[in-house]
Structure 1
Amino acid sequence: MVEAWYMDESQEDQRAPHRQRPNRAVSLEQLRRLGVVYRRLDADNYETDPCLKEIRRAENYSWMDIVTIHKDKLPNYEEKIKTFYEEHLHLDDEIRYILEGSGYFDVRDKDDKWIRISMEKGDMITLPAGIYHRFTLDENNYVKAMRLFVGEPVWTAYNRPADDFPARKQYMKFLAEEAHNEAKVNELIQLVQSAPADMKDGVGG
């Protein structure tokens, strides 16, 4: 099951967990409000998994390949690892499904703080177009992942700053709408909590 937390500011190896002390956990709901979608699938049977087939059909993920990130498997390994860890965005969603091994996706929250998402076998993640993010292996130094794409893949990464792209502007609009909706919900909760007891009794009826 995926786990996420706010990162510390240390210059320790990028593959270390980088948890704050005390740990500041991040929930799936918090990730959802950033546009990050998480699914849990059966990686042992990915070739025949009906759930994966349905996701691909529903989301129109027509293109797929499998990539292995390990020093003995990936050409130009050291260069690629550095590139993956540069903060960047894409103009399309990024979908990754971990088949073996593990790694970290880091994403920026609405206040520009880093959140680290720990991905293991069976985890699928969708990062929305326009979100600043990066990827690194963890201390196991190995991951095998499925890459999914709508139509022909476009792998272009735009390193930060890349705020002028329409995908970034659309993503910032999404964040603003999510923040507005969250504020409205919190306002309603406070209103209910501050209501007189006789009014609370009638809320559900």
Structure 2
Amino acid sequence: MVQAWYMDSETTDQRLEHHRNPPEYVSLDDLYKKTGVEYFQLNVNTYTTDGVLDKLKKERGYTYEDEIVCSKECLPNYEEKIKSFYEEHLHTDEEIRFVVEGCGYFDVRDGSDQWIRIAVSAGDMIVIPSGIYHRFTLDTKNFIRAKRLFIGEPVWLPHNRPADDMECRKQYVDKLQKGFAAAAY
């Protein structure tokens, strides 16, 4: 089950769980309200046959799917890739990840520009909105296998911060200020 908490500003080791002591946890409901990040729990043992992922894909218009494995053994230029994933950036499309195996961290900025770390593991699916500043890293096990879902053709291009003049960022900030609608978990 996913957990989220506010992080300290420490950035020296991306694989450590830098957080306040004691951590200030964020509920899934508050995570959505503060960032627009949505969460879904899927069964990794039955998702290919139970119809839950297929229903989500149909409802949300996800038409493209692939899989990524992040590990020293499977990802070419591993160290470079992990560093680039950890650069604070945004995308012009939603970032949808369904963790099939392993675990990692997605860090997202809230409306006060504070980092919230989201620990994901097998069965967790998160939807990171277009225009939100975020980053990704692995935990100390250095392994994750995840499905990546897209609406239409995949867009891989990250836009590193600052990207405040981009239309997707302006739209995200507007949604953040107006408040996100109630999420359906």
The bucket for the TM-score relative to the shorter chain is over 0.9
| Cα displacement (A) at 1:46 | 2.8
Q: CA deviation at 1:139?
A: 1.0
* Conserved? CA contact 1:44–1:99, under 8 Å: no
Which secondary structure state, in structure 1, belongs to the residue aligned with residue 170 of structure 2? helix
Aligned residue pairs, count? 180
Which one-letter code corresponds to 2:78 in the other structure? Y
User: What is the TM-score when the length of structure 1 is the normalising length?
Assistant: 0.85
Cα distance in 1 for residues equivalent to 2:54 and 2:110 = 31
- Aligned pairs for 1:9-158 within 5 A: 9-33=9-33, 34-158=35-159
**How does 1:181-196 map onto structure 2 within 5 Å?**
none
Q: Secondary structure at the match of 2:53?
A: helix
Report the Cα offset of residue 11 of structure 1.
Answer: 4.1
Structure-2-length-normalised TM-score? 0.94
Greater than 3 Å deviation, 4+ residue runs: none
Once residues 142 and 31 of structure 2 are traced to their aligned partners in structure 1, the CA distance between those partners, rounded to angstroms, is 25
SS in structure 2 opposite 1:170?
helix
Partner of 2:165: 164
Task: Compute the displacement of 1:29 (Å).
Answer: 1.3
**Structure 1 residues 73 and 32: alpha-carbon distance in aligned structure 2, compared to 1, 3 A threshold:** same
Describe the SS at the equivalent of 1:43: coil
Deviation at 1:118, TM superposition (A): 0.2
Output the amino acid matched with 2:49: T
Task: Return the structure number with greater relative CO, CA threshold 8 A, min gap 6.
Answer: 2
Percent same amino acid at aligned positions? 53
Question: Which letter does structure 1 place at the counterpart of 2:56?
Answer: I
Is the Cα contact below 8 Å between 1:90 and 1:158 reproduced in 2? Answer: yes
Alignment-mate amino acid for residue 99 of structure 2: I
Give distance in 2, aligned partners of 1:120 and 1:3.
Answer: 10
1:10 shift after superposition: 2.7
Q: Which amino acid aligns with 1:28?
A: L
Alpha-carbon RMSD across the aligned residues, in angstroms, is: 1.3
Q: Counterparts of 1:142 and 1:156 in 2: how far apart (Å)?
A: 23
Matches of 2:132 and 2:13, distance apart in 1: 24
- 1:47 to partner: Cα distance: 2.2
Structure 1, unaligned runs of 5 or more:
182-205
CA distance in 1, matches of 2:147, 2:40: 14
Question: When you count helix as a share of all residues, which structure comes out higher?
Answer: 1
Shift of 1:13: 1.8
Alpha-carbon distance, 1:45 to partner: 2.5
Cα distance in 1, alignment partners of residues 12 and 153 from structure 2: 37
- Aligned-pair CA distance for 1:48: 2.1
Range that drifts further, 24-33 or 44-53: 44-53
